[in-house]
Amino acid sequence: MPKLKIAGRACLALLFFSLLYAPAAKAEDSSKDVQFIPRILTVNDGLPPGVESIAQTQDGYMWFATQDGVARFDGAQFRIFDKNNTPGINQNYITVLLADQARGTLWIGTYGGGLTRYQSGSFKSYTTSDGLPGNFIFELAQGPAQELLIGTDKGLAIFKNEKIEQVQLPGEALNKRVAPITASPDGSAWFLYEGAIYRMDKVGKISKPEFQVSDANTIYADQEANIWVGTRTHGLYESSGGKTTHYSNASSLAQPPIRAIYQDHKGKIWVEIYKAGLCQPRPGGTFDCYTSKDSLPESNVTAIYEDHEGNLWLAAEEYGVIRLRMNSFFTHDERRGLSNNNVLSIHESNDGTLWVGSRPGLTRIQDGRITTIKIASTVPGNTVSAIEEAGNGDLWLGTQEGLKLLHDGKVIRTFTTQDGWASNSVTRAFPGPPGQFMDGQRDRGIDALCSRKIYPIDPKRWAAFYVDTQCHGGPRRQCMVQHGAGCDALQRRRIQ
């Protein structure tokens, strides 16, 4: 038999809890594949109110268009640039931002103050005197030749080669609000004008395509050149390869209007529905919607932006800005190789291997591969309700037939009542100080294993371990010190 290995001072303490007090946690099946970890930034953090748009420049700074200037965020604090403290800014009410990563430029649209460019640490503004059709800027987009498309209150303009040129529709004036504008990877640009959808091709020719949606509120071109249109009253439309798909209430889409559509770097489409949450379209015309139940703060979102690290930033009317750090997750169940959906314990080893204990046995998930390990010939012996590191890659496994030591996928030692344990039912596990391991039961006291010798301990002297979760981890280490724990103390009978 291989030599028994116990880390550190080779001390193992066990508190046995009956299975009656440890109900099984079933693995949940969900089609959603994202977990949100939100961070909310408000005026209390120094962010001015009324965030309209979000961008990130190539130096890593996050920028926010607010009603009181443009705010730059370095991850810790905000710096506000406005017309009172910054030459070159004409208006504090900022409506839209666009980062030109190739040129290191930040374009800033204002409400009445024209267009502002931030480059190399300085700001410069452009107005109607420089060729803009209007000084109220509502949308900015970058064309296929890196030209800047500008949607104003009085039409569309293009900034190219340091010149601003106005764009006209064939046979009619283009002199009202143009917004939103979206640039497609096929070289075209799409925009809304007086409720209609227009397309501008690579050479600047504007046409009104057959794809039209009444009551359009926002438009977005994804990475595959599909066009998405969100409406105020009747859901979402997708135009792909000449085919139009309508997502509405009938296909589980939450309440309109739709105010923002965005595609992240993984190709996922995000749709914000007013007061309803953040949704993702699914095959078959359905949606998965993330709400407060999924840790998404309830808010009215007006803009969505993904930063360089893959976090989503939401411009939220009720708060200011919400940063969503996303954790992808995948549901492992019997259909995908898990031994049983009735999961009793989970443990991640230092090498990233995930161990899952259930009634039929132990499952190992490593590098996407799922392996079931049989550790006993009986159901009680295979019921793994506690898993903990034993050092050197070995694992302690709590079962209904005692405590087992797993080495290289095989059980090399089992401790039961025949060895002096109070009970064979080991159902709870947690690490103590180095070299110690604890598990337990409410009514049979505590046994400590040190150098293969078992020491019974009066639970009154170890009240801190008596189902007191506040002593887990760091605080529990203090409890151990207070009671003189450790193999030396146990062997000297100091805490019995």
Question: Each residue of 111-151: pLDDT tens digit?
Answer: 999 999 999 999 999 999 999 999 999 999 998 788 999 99
Query: How many Å apart are CA 132 and CA 165, to the nearest integer?
Result: 7
| Residue 4 within a domain | no
pLDDT number for residue 203: 86
Q: Do 291 and 336 share a structural domain?
A: no
The β-bridge partners of 296 are: none
| Residue 190 within a domain | yes
| Residue 5 within a domain | no
Phi, psi of 478 (to 5 degrees): -65, -40
pLDDT tens digits along 388-425:
887 778 888 888 888 888 998 899 988 888 877 667 88
Q: Do 446 and 320 share a structural domain?
A: no
Q: Do 346 and 313 share a structural domain?
A: no
pLDDT number for residue 483: 33
Buried/exposed 297-307: b ≥16 CB within 10 Å, e otherwise? bebebbbbbbe
Q: Decide which of 286, 309, 328 is a domain's last residue.
A: 328
| Residue 415 within a domain | yes
**Lowest mean pLDDT segment, chosen from 4-18, 72-86, 167-181, 414-428:** 4-18
The β-bridge partners of 348 are: 354
| Sequence-ordered alpha helix ranges (H) in 309-369 | none
pLDDT number for residue 327: 61
| Residue 428 within a domain | yes
Q: Do 47 and 21 share a structural domain?
A: no
Radius of gyration of the chain (CA): 31
Measured over the CA atoms of residue 37, residue 42, residue 47 and residue 49, the dihedral's sign is positive
| Residue 496 within a domain | no
Q: Decide which of 294, 328, 362 is a domain's last residue.
A: 328
Instruction: Tell me the two tokens of residue 429.
Output: 């596990």
pLDDT number for residue 448: 52
Residue 451's pLDDT band (cuts 50, 70, 90): very low
Residue 487's pLDDT band (cuts 50, 70, 90): very low
* Domain containing residue 378: CATH number: 2.130.10.10
pLDDT tens digits along 42-68:
999 999 999 999 999 999 999 999 999
Q: Do 388 and 248 share a structural domain?
A: no
Q: Do 374 and 312 share a structural domain?
A: no
Query: How many Å apart are CA 408 and CA 15, to the nearest integer?
Result: 26
Residue 160 has pLDDT above 90, yes or no: yes
Q: Which residues, in sequence order, are CB contacts of 171 under 8 Å at separation 6+?
A: none
Looking at every residue in the chain, the average pLDDT score rounds to 78
Instruction: Tell me the two tokens of residue 378.
Output: 């009986």
Residue 73 has pLDDT above 90, yes or no: yes
Residue 430 has pLDDT above 90, yes or no: no
Q: Residue type at 90?
A: N
Residue 443 has pLDDT above 60, yes or no: no
Segment 486-490 shows an average pLDDT of 43
Q: Decide which of 312, 328, 344 is a domain's last residue.
A: 328
| Residue 1 within a domain | no
Q: Indicate the number of domains in the chain.
A: 2
Q: Do 282 and 350 share a structural domain?
A: no
Q: Do 347 and 434 share a structural domain?
A: yes
pLDDT number for residue 24: 32
Indicate the length of the chain as a whole number. 496
| Residue 319 within a domain | yes
pLDDT number for residue 334: 64
Residue 81 has pLDDT above 80, yes or no: yes
Q: Do 224 and 77 share a structural domain?
A: yes
Residue 363's pLDDT band (cuts 50, 70, 90): confident
Q: Do 316 and 405 share a structural domain?
A: no
Q: Residue type at 175?
A: N
Q: Do 479 and 460 share a structural domain?
A: yes
Q: Do 50 and 38 share a structural domain?
A: yes
pLDDT tens digits along 452-475:
455 555 544 443 333 333 333 333
The range of the structural domain enclosing residue 374 comes to: 11-28+331-491
Query: How many Å apart are CA 51 and CA 64, to the nearest integer?
Result: 6
Query: How many Å apart are CA 385 and CA 85, to the nearest integer?
Result: 63
pLDDT tens digits along 211-263:
999 999 999 999 999 999 999 988 899 999 989 988 875 555 555 789 899 99
Query: How many Å apart are CA 245 and CA 252, to the nearest integer?
Result: 14
pLDDT number for residue 360: 76
